[in-house]
Chain A
Amino acid sequence: MKKIVFIAVLTIFAVSLWGQSNELLDQFLDGEEADVATTLLLVAQASGNLPMEANPDDGYAWGLEQGFGKHVSKTAPEDPVSLGLFYLALFDSYGVKGGLMYSAVGSPRYAALEAGFLGYIEPSSLYHTRSMPPYEVLTGITYVTEDALGGEM
């Protein structure tokens, strides 16, 4: 029950924060797994890198142009986004520096380990290759936008 209330609050918060269309978010949240394109779109919009009227294709194209683009290029827009790729895009967008190896290499695995260290992920579900339910993407974005450490580590 708590989880459902938490998801509902996050959804409302996300809509009001990013001004994203209800239709797109509804469609996103209805899926079992978050897709790469919409996830990158939400990350880019939350971090102010894409306008609110952008669409998932814009999000995927934006991701390809970033420093982590080589990891995006290994996926198709409609593929499920991996935990590692999501946190890599999120931390990169918000300038979270993280640990020595994350700063030097910046791979999805290091991003997932960093998210685990920050307490964003339960240790039992810390697999950088796993897919993510859509609400977990919103939760992750909320963690970083709300966390005082975001961008200052």
Chain B
Amino acid sequence: MKKITVALILFILLIPAFTLSAYDQIWGVRLDLNLELPEIAGSSFGISTENAVGIWYRGRWSPAANMEVDGGVAFDGDFLFGLTNELKFSFHGFFYTIYPELDKLNFYGNTGIFGYKAGRQLTGDPAGLIIDAPFDGIDFGVDIGKHIFTVGAGYTGLVFRESAEFFMTETDVKRDSALAAPRIMEYLVWDMPAAASWLYPSVYFLAVQDLTSAEDQVAYDNKRFNSMYLELFSRGFLGQSFIYDLSLVGQYGTYDAATVLGGIGRLGFSWLPSTHSRLGVDLIRSTGDDWGRGTYLLGSTTETELSQYLPVSIVSTQGFVVEFEIGNLTSLGAFYAKRPSETFSWELRTTTFLRSALGPVSTGYVDNTSDGYFLGQEGVMSFFWRPKSDFGWDFKVGVLYPGDPIVLDSEIDAYFPVLYRLGFDWSWSF
């Protein structure tokens, strides 16, 4: 492994020496800070923070030969407090994790109708419902008139686990490694950007083979999960003032003796009454399982037919007060967004959350004794201010009226008749 890394670094460093063409470059730094409260964990509550600092670099010898690097360090932490029986605050400690991030380290370029990218790169499906994560691989594209075809393949086992978030099985979460679970992926994409103003269709196919070792399968009582996804996605304008997006994803997989057949659909519809405002609704519905499944991620199960939709990486999570991953979820949201000035905008959103089946959802607030589909009704007010091109901050305040499945620890339940959350994000890039 070390030899491969050294060879790759030498290759990158030596390329300028072998080229006679000009070399152009640019780089930058970004700093993202976040603070949210209250964070509820069992009988404790507190303040959470997620921060990252990174550097990016791009170099170019010619349109056919470019390179890019994007990496940094992330720091996540929780200050946790509790209440004693005498209603006195107690400090339970500061718990944190520090982990590296390396999203890009690749060569890319295009010549004529062909394009390529090789190395560490970000990959994602057009609708953002299957995967949004880095991987190591190669991506080829060909642009034929109105059609763009892309094919790619890669490996996930060398990316950093915490930043990539390839979480499909319990092993992926529990395994004692800084690297993500080993999987091979292959994908095909067809895009037709100029089909019509009301129709920009994409078709995406992804196959994933799980290479989790036999030792890890035994150690964590898990099996390999091999899966395939087919996504149909379209977006466009309807008239001059309406936009829509429609996504349908089917998932087929095998896990031990079980066959997994799931899916998700999303419909978004917005009205643009002016260039500075937007009123819209969005609907997401994915398939789920009952509690016979066991856990949200695939774990130990005796079922032979599973239905819960499970993306390859954590993607398009819903909700602010409580964050729901998109398996076994139905959400119906409405929002109004306005941008009064070039530097300031705000959004008011309300969302109804339900689970699609009476089984596990991604949040720990729902346990296997819970009943009912209604997870909660959320209202969120967001403010976005970007006074300078390289500096900005967001402030969010949200309230969730919880449904019956949301169960808090009995020690703090009385203090949270509704759940609320404040969030503050600050970013600086230079």
Do A and B come from the same complex? yes
Interface set of A (CB-CB < 8 Å, partner B): 98-102, 109-110, 112-114, 117-118, 126-131, 149, 153
User: Given A99-B430, A101-B430, is A129 in contact with B390 using a C-beta cutoff of 8 Å?
Assistant: no
| Contact of A98 (CB < 8 Å), options: B22, B59, B388 | B388
B23 / chain A contacts, CB cutoff of 8 Å? 129
Whole-angstrom distance between the Cβ of A19 and the nearest chain B Cβ: 33
Interface set of B (CB-CB < 8 Å, partner A): 22-28, 58-60, 342, 388-391, 428, 430
Q: What is the bound-complex CA distance between A109 and B56, given in angstroms? A: 13
Whole-angstrom distance between the Cβ of B62 and the nearest chain A Cβ: 11
Contacting pair A99 B60 (CB below 8 A): no
| Contact of B388 (CB < 8 Å), options: A99, A109, A127, A149 | A99
Contacting pair B389 A99 (CB below 8 A): yes
A127 / chain B contacts, CB cutoff of 8 Å? 24-26, 58-60
Whole-angstrom distance between the Cβ of B197 and the nearest chain A Cβ: 18
Q: What is the bound-complex CA distance between A131 and B390, given in angstroms? A: 24
Q: What is the bound-complex CA distance between A3 and B256, given in angstroms? A: 58
| Contact of B390 (CB < 8 Å), options: A113, A128, A149 | A113
Q: What is the bound-complex CA distance between A26 and B89, given in angstroms? A: 77
User: Given A110-B430, A130-B60, is A98 in contact with B389 using a C-beta cutoff of 8 Å?
Assistant: yes
A110 / chain B contacts, CB cutoff of 8 Å? 430
A99 / chain B contacts, CB cutoff of 8 Å? 388-391, 430
| Contact of B389 (CB < 8 Å), options: A109, A117, A126, A130 | A117
A149 / chain B contacts, CB cutoff of 8 Å? 342
User: What are 15 A-B contacts with C-beta separation under 8 Å?
Assistant: A98-B388, A99-B430, A100-B391, A109-B26, A109-B27, A110-B430, A113-B28, A113-B390, A118-B389, A127-B25, A127-B26, A128-B26, A129-B24, A131-B22, A153-B389
Q: What is the bound-complex CA distance between A113 and B391, given in angstroms? A: 13
A126 / chain B contacts, CB cutoff of 8 Å? 26, 58
Whole-angstrom distance between the Cβ of B312 and the nearest chain A Cβ: 26
Q: What is the bound-complex CA distance between A113 and B430, given in angstroms? A: 8
Whole-angstrom distance between the Cβ of A132 and the nearest chain B Cβ: 11
Q: What is the bound-complex CA distance between A104 and B23, given in angstroms? A: 27
Q: What is the bound-complex CA distance between A127 and B21, given in angstroms? A: 15
B389 / chain A contacts, CB cutoff of 8 Å? 98-99, 102, 113-114, 117-118, 153
B391 / chain A contacts, CB cutoff of 8 Å? 99-100
Contacting pair B390 A100 (CB below 8 A): yes
B26 / chain A contacts, CB cutoff of 8 Å? 109, 112-113, 126-129
User: Given A110-B430, A127-B60, A130-B60, is A101 in contact with B390 using a C-beta cutoff of 8 Å?
Assistant: yes
B60 / chain A contacts, CB cutoff of 8 Å? 127, 130
A98 closest partner in B (C-beta): B389
A108 closest partner in B (C-beta): B26
Q: What is the bound-complex CA distance between A132 and B394, given in angstroms? A: 37
Question: What are the nearest 8 A-B pairs in CB distance?
Answer: A99-B390, A127-B24, A130-B24, A101-B430, A99-B389, A117-B389, A99-B388, A129-B24
